[in-house]
Chains A and B, each alone.
Chain A
Amino acid sequence: GAVVSQHPSRVICKSGTSVKIECRSLDFQATTMFWYRQFPKQSLMLMATSNEGSKATYEQGVEKDKFLINHASLTLSTLTVTSAHPEDSSFYICSARSIREGSDEQYFGPGTRLTVT
Chain B
Amino acid sequence: AQSVSQHNHHVILSEAASLELGCNYSYGGTVNLFWYVQYPGQHLQLLLKYFSGDPLVKGIKGFEAEFIKSKFSFNLRKPSVQWSDTAEYFCAVNPGAGSYQLTFGKGTKLSVIP
- Residue ranges of A at the interface with B (Cβ–Cβ < 8 Å): 1, 4, 32, 34, 36, 41-46, 49, 93, 95, 97, 104-106, 108-111
How far apart are A35's CB and chain B's nearest CB, in angstroms?
Answer: 11
**Stretch with Cβ within 8 A of A (4 or more), from B12-20, B65-73, B77-85, B101-109:** B101-109
Contacts A43-B90, A43-B106, A44-B90 given; indicate if A32 touches B43 (C-beta within 8 A): no
Min CB–CB distance A1 → chain B (angstroms): 8
Question: B107, A46: Cβ atoms under 8 Å?
Answer: no
In the complex where A49-B101, A97-B100 touch, is A43 in contact with B4 (Cβ < 8 A)? yes
Q: Chain B interface (Cβ within 8 Å of chain A)?
A: 4, 9, 36, 42-46, 49, 90, 100-107
Contact among B9, B90, B100, B106 for A32, CB-based, below 8 A = B100
Residue on B with the closest CB to A108? B44
Report, nearest first, the 6 A-B pairs whose CB atoms are least far apart: A108-B44, A43-B104, A110-B43, A43-B106, A44-B104, A108-B43
Residue in B4, B44, B100 whose CB lies within 8 Å of A93: B44
B103–A4 touching, CB < 8 Å: no
Q: A41-B106, A42-B106, A43-B107 are in contact. Are A110 and B101 (CB under 8 A)?
A: no
Min C-beta distance of A87 to chain B, whole Å: 20
Q: How far is the CA of A83 from the CA of B42 in the complex (A)?
A: 29
* Residues of chain A within 8 A of B107, CB atoms compared: 41, 43
- Cβ contact within 8 Å between A34 and B102: yes
A4 and B43 contacting across the interface, CB-CB below 8 Å: yes
Please measure, in the bound complex, the distance between the C-alpha atom of A46 and the C-alpha atom of B2, giving whole angstroms.
Answer: 12
Known: A41-B106, A43-B90, A43-B106. A105 touches B46 (CB 8 A): yes
17 A-B Cβ contacts within 8 A?
A34-B101, A41-B9, A43-B106, A43-B107, A44-B44, A45-B104, A46-B101, A46-B102, A46-B103, A95-B102, A104-B100, A105-B49, A106-B46, A106-B100, A108-B36, A108-B43, A109-B43
Taking the nearest CB of chain B, how far is it from the CB of A90, in angstroms? 15
Once bound together, how far apart are the Cα atoms of A97 and B107, in whole Å?
22
Q: What chain B residues lie within 8 Å of A32 (beta carbons)?
A: 100
